[in-house]
Chain A
Amino acid sequence: MSDKAEVAVSYDVDNEFFRLWLDRRMNYTCAVFDDTDDLDAAQVAKLDVLYRYGHVRPDSRVLDIGCGWGANLEYLAVDRGVREAHGITLSEAQHAEIVRRNLPGVTASCVDYRDYVPPVRFDTIMSICMIEHVCTPQQARAGEAVARYRDYFRRAWEWSRPGAHFALQCILRNRAPRLAADIREIGWVTYQIFPGGITPRMEDIVQAVNPYWEIVEVRTRREDYRRTCEHWRSRLRGHADEIRRRWGDHLLADYDRYLTACIRAFEMHYQSLAQWSLRRIDEI
């Protein structure tokens, strides 16, 4: 699991920096471009998919594990009228942003998910591109990835009610790169931008959900994530002067390099993205 300091490297740069180039609600995950080329609309479309995958209703109690700056929580509360939504993040900056938004029915905890003690059981678990922080590269190399992910799915099972659903979105480690330059760029992103994390392989998730969750539906969206990253890089470059002035040349160069590496990784099938609809297996 990425620790608090590692999470801070990834997400506590400055909320105002991320606000410049993410969408209006600050989704920092793959959007869905089925019917639009607009980033804001595509991020809502992504949340629509996960709302359906999680079988959420307005009277549902929803837990969002790794809730970022609260984009999904805001969508649930404001767009869908969900009365109770709770988010977990390990980032102080993200937690502060959620508190600042003061959303109706929304609460949030700044806590490592392994230390979270839920006050109630939830009808729906949602987790959008957080599982990438559950296993470290060293643990994956030692063959511990499935056990780490299974522990995460076990906790989600324990925190949910019988009949619950789990809407999961995650980046996938897909085809291993063979070009040295690509290997080095992916390594740079892994260790410099997202230290402590590694993207899972699809077969790891398929194994790890057992015996807790049934895979009902899964959809990959590699192309959508490439387009999302292109939008982000374009918006980053569009604010280049302001970013240089406020945070320096180095931050702009690092984030341009990172997003360029991601675009390449999705183009080359090194990475993909999957959206999963899971149903709780009540008798285990």
Chain B
Amino acid sequence: MSTEELLALIRTGIADVTGRPAPALDIDTGIEALGLDSLQTLELVSWAEERLAIRVPDEELATVRSIGDLTGALSARLPGEPR
């Protein structure tokens, strides 16, 4: 899955979690700048994990500060992706 495809998926996830349309994203976008608190961030990760059939280790969840952190954590668990 390309970074662009992951960003599109995450935008859908943000809209699902917050109930608002998600703004444009890039890997430098901060999670807090999107208005997501830590619980909504966890909801977003869970939402993405379910759709990608993967699980990010709990200790990595605490380090997710930006969209790039999130795409990195997700893509590292996708089959065929470099780790």
- A contacts, CB < 8 Å to B: 137, 140-141, 143, 175-180, 183-184, 186-187, 203
Which of A137, A143, A179, A180 is in CB contact (< 8 Å) with B38? A137
- B contacts, CB < 8 Å to A: 37-39, 42-43, 46-47, 49-50, 58-59, 61-63
**B42–A177 touching, CB < 8 Å:** yes
Report chain A residues within 8 Å CB of B46. 177-180, 183
Q: What distance in Å separates the Cβ of B19 from its nearest Cβ neighbour in chain A? A: 12
Report chain A residues within 8 Å CB of B63. 143
**B58–A183 touching, CB < 8 Å:** no
Q: In the complex, which of the residues B47, B58, B63 has the most CB atoms of chain A within 10 Å of its own CB atom?
A: B58
A244–B11 CA distance with the chains assembled, in angstroms: 45
Q: In the complex, which of the residues B47, B61, B62, B63 has the most CB atoms of chain A within 10 Å of its own CB atom?
A: B62
**A141–B39 touching, CB < 8 Å:** no
Which of B49, B50, B62 is in CB contact (< 8 Å) with A141? B62
Task: Name A174's closest neighbour in chain B (CB-CB).
Answer: B58
Task: Name A176's closest neighbour in chain B (CB-CB).
Answer: B58
* Complex A-B: 5 CB contacts under 8 Å: A141-B38, A176-B42, A176-B61, A183-B39, A187-B39
A177–B40 CA distance with the chains assembled, in angstroms: 12
**A183–B43 touching, CB < 8 Å:** yes
Report chain B residues within 8 Å CB of A187. 37, 39
Report chain B residues within 8 Å CB of A180. 43, 46-47
